[in-house]
């Protein structure tokens, strides 16, 4: 197995960890105002991710960092071709982080309420933007030969260069699916991490969301079968239906850990699917496609084309092998230290 493939796997692993771990952070951020009926309950919800959210967010730094290190062309193209959506993402992440961290240190319930609203709004925005961008990852961009995307004429063309792709209908669908996933991850996480009224409401929400989702997936599968639509859609719909049915059942029977585990594994699988979606589109011997060019397939970004030099890969391999296992160990330790459920009921 060559270094390029190994590093691609590591890059995808970092992205999986980011989306899985921050997925429930964003979900919880959204659900604090939805499930918590008063300041105390909302505080309990936020406390479930309090010790972990910052460490989880660093997986984004790691994912971007290893993408830059191992595939500099991919990093360069992705970020510059999605300039304004990425800027929006950064602004929302800033709002989310500050709202979470400042929440409990301010002057009282009104301050906390404002932080909770900011947290919910930013979390929602982040999830929608990521969903739209992931859909763009799958569909590709109008890449030129040098990996850049050119703007149309005028200022509107300038703004539309990078905003256009995320305002398409497939991107909208991606955004909604991501929102759904974040809510399910959040509700299964809260079911696992709290006691009292929040635990109950979270479980009910999981059953409602996952149950409803199962219905939609089954309907989609049936519809795809009826119109004779393509294989992948049917497979995805069936897989989604089975997964969501499992989550619904687990939540209903109070196997909260199982529900969460299935949810997070499903997100992981979805992320892997997004990143390898274009692999089949390889042209001749040019290698697996990372990001397709909708202008000319020969200009697509490929695994071997975007990779760093062999010496750079060897260098960071050493660092990765030594450092990353340690990270997993002490992050795991942190989850173990704070493993007790958070009480959302009032203690008299």
Coil/strand/helix, residue 67: helix
- β-pair type (342-343, 301-302): unpaired
* Helices assigned H by DSSP within 169-309: 169-193, 197-227, 231-252, 256-276, 303-306
Q: Cβ of 143: how many Cβ atoms within 10 Å? A: 21
**105 sits near another protein (criterion: CB under 8 A):** yes
Which residues, numbered 107-126, are part of the site for another protein (CB under 8 A)? Answer: 107
Which tokens belong to 299?
A: 């200009």
Phi, psi of 104, rounded to the nearest 5 degrees: -85, 5
Radius of gyration of the chain (CA): 21
Residue closer to another protein by CB (options 151, 242) is 151
Q: Does 104 bind another protein (CB under 8 A)?
A: yes
Out of 13, 16, 35, 57, the only residue in the binding site for another protein (CB under 8 A) is: 57
- Shortest Cβ 68–another protein spacing (Å): 4
What SS3 class is residue 133?
helix
Contacts with 161 (C-beta within 8 Å, 6 or more apart), sequence order: 83, 149, 150, 151, 152
Q: Within 10 A of 310 (CB to CB), how many other CB atoms are there? A: 11
The nearest distance, CB 299 to another protein, in angstroms, is 13
Binder to another protein among 5, 101, 219, 296 (CB under 8 A)?
101
The single residue among 15, 24, 26, 75 that binds another protein, judged by CB under 8 A, is: 75
Q: Kindly state the smallest distance separating residue 323's Cβ from another protein, in Å.
A: 5
Q: By C-beta, is 219 or 296 nearer to another protein?
A: 296
Min dist CB 230 to another protein, Å, is 33
Number of residues this chain uses to bind another protein (CB under 8 A): 91
DSSP state of 299: G
The single residue among 13, 31, 66, 190 that binds another protein, judged by CB under 8 A, is: 66
Binding mask 188-207 for another protein (x = CB under 8 A): ------xxx-----------
Query: Which span sits near another protein by CB under 8 A: 65-73, 181-189, 222-230, 266-274?
Result: 65-73
Structure-block tokens of residue 149: 């995307």
Our finding on whether 267 is near another protein (CB under 8 A) is no
Residue of the chain from 1, 226, 280, 337 that contacts another protein (CB under 8 A): 337
Interface of this chain with another protein, residues 2 to 31, rule: CB under 8 A: none
CA 38 – CA 22 distance, rounded (Å): 24
């Amino acid at each position: 197995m060559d270094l390029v493939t190994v590093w691609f796997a590591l890059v995808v692993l970092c992205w999986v960890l980011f989306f899985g771990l921050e997925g429930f952070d964003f979900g919880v951020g959204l659900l604090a105002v939805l499930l918590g009926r008063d300041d105390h309950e909302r505080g309990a919800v936020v406390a479930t991710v309090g010790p972990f959210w910052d460490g989880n967010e660093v997986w984004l730094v790691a994912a971007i960092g290893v993408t830059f290190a191992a595939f500099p062309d991919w990093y360069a193209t992705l970020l510059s071709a999605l300039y304004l959506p990425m800027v929006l993402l950064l602004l929302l992440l800033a709002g989310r982080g500050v709202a979470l961290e400042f929440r409990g240190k301010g002057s009282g319930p009104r301050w906390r309420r404002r932080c909770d609203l900011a947290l919910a709004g930013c979390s929602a925005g982040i999830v929608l933007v990521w969903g739209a961008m992931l859909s763009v990852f799958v569909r590709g961009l109008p890449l030129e030969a040098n990996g850049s995307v050119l703007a149309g004429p005028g200022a509107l063309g300038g703004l539309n260069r990078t905003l256009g792709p995320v305002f398409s209908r497939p991107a909208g669908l991606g955004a909604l699916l991501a929102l759904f996933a974040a809510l399910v991850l959040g509700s299964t996480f809260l079911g696992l991490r709290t006691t009292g009224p929040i635990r109950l409401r979270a479980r009910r929400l999981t059953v409602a969301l996952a149950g409803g989702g199962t219905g939609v997936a089954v309907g989609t599968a049936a519809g795809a079968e009826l119109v004779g639509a393509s294989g992948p859609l049917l497979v995805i719909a069936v897989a989604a239906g089975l997964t969501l049915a499992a989550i619904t059942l687990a939540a209903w029977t109070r196997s909260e850990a199982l529900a969460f585990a299935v949810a997070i594994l499903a997100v992981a699988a979805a992320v892997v699917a997004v990143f390898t979606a274009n692999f089949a589109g390889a042209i001749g011997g040019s290698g697996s496609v990372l990001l397709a060019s909708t202008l000319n397939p020969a200009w697509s970004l490929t695994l071997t084309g975007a990779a760093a030099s062999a010496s750079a890969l060897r260098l960071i391999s050493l660092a990765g092998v030594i450092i990353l296992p340690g990270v997993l160990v002490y992050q795991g330790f942190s989850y173990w230290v704070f493993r007790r459920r958070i009480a959302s009921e009032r203690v008299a």
